[in-house]
Amino acid sequence: MKQLKAKLLAGVLTAAMVLGTFAGAAPLTAKAASHATELAVRAVDESGKALSGVELVFEKDGETYDFATTDEDGEAYLDENDFTDLVMANMDAADGDGTGFGIYEVKPASGSGYTLANDSIKMDVQNSGESWGYPCIVSVNGKAYAGETVDLALKVIESEKPVEPVEHPKTLNVKVVNEKGLPVEGVHLEIFSPNCCRNSFAQPTDAVGTASYTLSQREGIGMPFAIALAEGEDYEIVTPIENIYFERDTNQNENYIAKVNGQEYNGEEVKLVVKKNELSISEVSGAGAEVSREGGTATITVKGTSLPAKFYYVVHCYSPKGVLLSQVEEKEAEAKGTETLRTFEAEFPSVLHLPKAAYWEIGVETIPNSEDGYYMAKGENGVKIAGTVVTEESKNTMVEIFTEAGKKNESDYTAESWNVYKNAVEAAKKIAEDNSATNAEFQNAIQAVKDAEAALVKTEPEKPSNPEKPAKPEVKVASVKLAKTSYVYDGKVKKPGIVAKNDKGEKITSKDYTVKYAAGCKNVGTYTVKVTFKGDYKGTFTKTFKINPKGTSLSKVKAARKSFSATWKKQSKQTSGYQLQYSTNKKFAKSVKTTTITKTSTVKKTVKKLSAKKTYYVRVRTYKNVKVGKKTVKMYSGWSKVKSVKVK
């Protein structure tokens, strides 16, 4: 069987593309979008069920070339680099007289245990036909190919002669020892593959450090497994047990352990060397940090030994009395500093909907989704929420409105307007007497009294000389809304219209109120609109709207070995940076990771340390750092359309 000369021949092909020569063809140009250089195949049985662990090959002109072994979904994938290697390997065949062009057939490898149930897959490779041509897949099974997965129907090869059964090992025997070679008792082990599953040993290690795993017959065939420590174990692996492969004994119709550490396995005991974990984190603190009620970021300090450059953290919001109000799912953060002292930026969401919110507690760990909990920054080490402490200005204003209320006489006003005013004042007094009240609650109560005061209606003095005219029915403002509360930045001034209705459900016309917009209303940010009523209507209302940054879109997501790279369109106007988010869940409902890019000039990010053969869903958005009072908060665009990528 011809082996693909990946590195050497791929280099030759690359040079050929640059110089514009390929087996006598004209110089090459960039590939047209309709000319494929990748192939996806799915092996199925005669009923259409996917077949995993089947080795596939290419055949052409009497030569056989490696392809791939099907994964758990029965799929095998020929990417652009493998396609280059395949064409070059064919050119190298027949003492270098191969052309690289023609029909390549996809078949099961000899010894795979399978044969064709129907026809093979025929992949036609030709020159693109352009003035500067290049090799590409012009058709599959005689039809134009656009990248879809092609099914290859197979059936099991039935033995013509009975084969004597061979006893293969079906139990893996492991001995766990420390670095001195002494047995370690009570360690829970697991056997796993990143491609399919994770199973636990039936029992922890015994007094001599041994534990055994017997195959369940549901493990995947032809994919690498390894031994891992169960979550929560206070050890780490020094010398691993890996490259464990299971094969199928078709005569006895059962799986067995074929290889351990890449070597043939005959049931012998295999050693797993471990050592005790050292405690990494000793202190977590956000002391002195403060975020606005609209949300923002704060610097978190972590002390300890052998600290990593990446942390996982959660945040919990509490009231002044220590009541949990809200919590945010775990996030990932890159840290700066040394192995004994590091800092990172933690993100905190808006708490405008939580008037009692007073402070955040932060939990930090060095591993994701820790079952042993987090190292918490509590009390004075937590992060304060701005506006929680009542300011002297708010206290003085509250005293002023009470003083003014004492000067008013109930008889001077209509009963209905006076009741509204009196209720607002009494509600404000309760807030003032509440030691746990926040500054935001003070401000809301003060504004409610001012609005009620502005809506007071004086009683008319009696005029005996004139006949009494029928009183005009009083109509109140029932609701005030902005026609639009969210915009996307486009460089133009935004002034949303006003939709106001009275208590009869009738629309209030613009002649009955004046509108004052905040300065600017053009760049990314949050803006206020003040609506003051006049004539038959009373009261002042303040509303807000946002101008969010313009979004971006993914240009390309390219797979690599246990990683992928994402490229997006540059967006620099009213933008501070980007957020790239990826997940194995297409709805981003769980297992979501987010990374922040702080330069608008950076339009590419490579994400590493991923699970091989997994499909990841990727999206991107922009953000803008905006000053709100004395604090800086992030405002985000909407997410881009999601692209998926299957890593190698």
pLDDT by residue (tens digit) across 16-68?
A: 443 343 444 434 334 444 578 899 999 999 999 999 999 999 998 888 988 99
Per-residue b or e along 295-317, where b marks 16 or more CB atoms closer than 10 Å to that residue's CB:
bbbbebbbebeebeeebbbbbbb
Structure tokens at 301: 């300090």
Contacts of 279-283 with CB under 8 Å at 24 or more apart are 279/304, 279/305, 280/304, 280/305, 280/306, 280/307, 280/308, 280/366, 281/307, 281/364, 281/365, 281/366, 281/375, 283/375
Q: Are residues 21 and 133 in the same domain?
A: yes
The pLDDT value given to residue 3: 46
- Length of the chain counted residue by residue: 648
Count of domains in the chain?
A: 6
Q: Among 156, 188, 221, give the residue marking a domain's end.
A: 156
Q: Are residues 127 and 19 in the same domain?
A: yes
Contacts of 291 (CB under 8 A, 6+ apart): 297, 298, 348, 360, 383, 384, 385, 386, 631
**Cα 354 to Cα 440: distance, rounded to the nearest angstrom:** 10
Q: What is the pLDDT of residue 11?
A: 44
Check whether residue 558 and residue 544 sit in a common domain.
no
CA-to-CA distance for 609 and 302, rounded, in angstroms? 24
Contact 217, 254 (CB under 8 A): yes
For residue 290, what are the domain limits?
Answer: 281-385
**Residue 462 within a domain:** no
Angle in degrees, 0-180, between the axes of helices 80-96 and 6-19, rounded to the nearest 10: 90
- For 128-140, how does the pLDDT look when each residue is reduced to its tens digit (9 = 90+)? 776 556 788 889 9
Same domain (yes/no): 68, 186 = no
The confidence score (pLDDT) of residue 28 equals: 38
**Whether residues 37 and 124 fall in one domain:** yes
Indicate whether 161 belongs to any domain: no
Residues 60 and 181 in one domain: no
Shared-domain flag, residues 426 and 527:
no
41, 151: one domain: yes
One-letter identity of residue 205: T
- Domain end among 122, 156, 190: 156
Parts of the chain with a pLDDT under 50: 1-33, 160-162
- pLDDT value, residue 599: 92
Q: For 540-569, what is each residue's pLDDT tens digit?
A: 999 999 999 999 999 999 999 999 999 999
pTM above 0.75, yes or no: no
What tokens were used for 611? 């699970």
Residues 368 and 409 reside in one and the same domain: no
